[in-house]
Chains A and B, each alone.
Chain A
Amino acid sequence: MKKVTVHVTLKQGVLDPQGKAIQTSLHSLGFPEVEEARVGKYIELTMEDDADIEARVKAMCDKLLANPVIEDYRFNVEEAVQS
C-alpha cells in the first residue's frame, strides 16, 4: 500500500483573503516578521500500489483535488506504514 500526500495551494498572484487575515492576526500577536501567509489544503490518500500511480494521482489532482484555474498542487508517494 502507498500513502499519497497531496498539497494544494492557491497560485501565486491569486488573492488569498484567508492568508491575509492570518498575516494580520500574526502581526497583532507580535510577529511582524511575517511577510505573507497563504492557506492551502492537505489531503492524504491511501491506495494500492500501481505502476501508473504517479499518473493516476496527477489525473485525480487535475480532475478534482485541485482547481487548475486558481490552485497549484504537489504530491508525494511513499510506503504506507501498516498500523
Chain B
Amino acid sequence: MKFAVIVFPGSNCDRDMYHAAKDVLKEDADLVWYENSNLENYDGVLLPGGFSYGDYLRSGAVASTSNVMKQIKAHAEKGKPVLGVCNGFQILLEAGLLPGAMLRNKNLAFMCHQEPLAVANNQTQFTTEYAKGEIVRFPIAHGEGNYFCNEQTLADLKANDQIVFTYENNPNGSVADIAGIINEQGNVLGMMPHPERAVEELLGSDDGLKLFQSVVKNWRESYVVNR
C-alpha cells in the first residue's frame, strides 16, 4: 500500500506519520509537498498534525483552500482512505470533508499528554483490528481540539455510527466526548489524538499500530476483490 503524507508549511508531525507508515508498518510512503502534489498513484492520504499556515484565521482554514485539497476530495470520492490527525482533522473539517468545527480548548490551554480513548466504532476500515469499546492510549497535543457541531449534526453522527473514538476523560470540552469521527461513506477519518505517535512501546504506547494495520489489511482485502 502506498501512502502520501501531505506536508504544508507549518506541518510538524509529518515525519512521525511517515515514520509510522514507512518504518513501522513497512509500507510505501512519500512526504508530499502540498504544491507539487499528484495523488493519483497513492492508495491512502495521511494529513499530519502541526500548525499549517501558523493557524492563521482558524486552524486548518488556509490549508483547506489549497489546491491539494481538491485532489484529496477527488481521492476521497473514489472511496480511498484519508486519515487526518490533529491539524489534519482541523483541515478536513474546514474543507467540509467532515462535519463540525473546532473551538479553543475549554480551559484555553495547549495540552500535550496521553489520553485514554474508547473505540466507539470498530466497524470502520480504520478500526477493524480493535475490539468495540477497547480502551487505547494515544497522545494528544492541541490547543483547539474542542469539537463542536450543532444538535442535528450530532444526531446524524450518532445515527450513522460516525463517532469512532471518544475520550474517557474529556480533556477539551468536545461535544459528546468526541475524539474522532468518520464521514458517511466510511473512508475519511479525522481525529485529534495522535495514533502515529503511539506505534512503538518506546513511545509509551503502541496502541496506534492497530489503526494503521486495519487500514492496510482492509485495503489489501478490497484490492484483491476489486482486481
Contacts and interface: CB of A to CB of B under 8 A. Distances in A.
Interface of A: 10, 14-15, 17-18, 21, 41, 63-65, 67, 69-70
Contacts of A67: 58, 61, 94, 101
The 7 closest A-B pairs by CB, nearest first: A69-B101, A70-B101, A17-B104, A17-B108, A67-B101, A17-B106, A70-B148
A69 B173 CA distance: 17
Q: Is the interface of B mostly helix, strand, loop or mixed?
A: loop
Contacts of B148: 14-15, 69-70
B99 to A, nearest CB: 8
A69 B150 contact: yes
A10 B146 CA distance: 14
Contacts of A64: 57, 61, 65
B100 interface: yes
B151 to A, nearest CB: 10
Contact of A70 (B99, B103, B173): B103
Contacts of B11: none
B62 to A, nearest CB: 8
A69 B65 CA distance: 17
Contacts of A65: 57
Contacts of A14: 103, 148
Interface string B184-214: 0000000000000000000000000000000
Contacts of B173: 15, 17
Interface in B47-95: 57-58, 61, 65, 93-94
B108 A21 contact: yes
A70 B149 CA distance: 8
A35 to B, nearest CB: 20
A15 B173 CA distance: 10
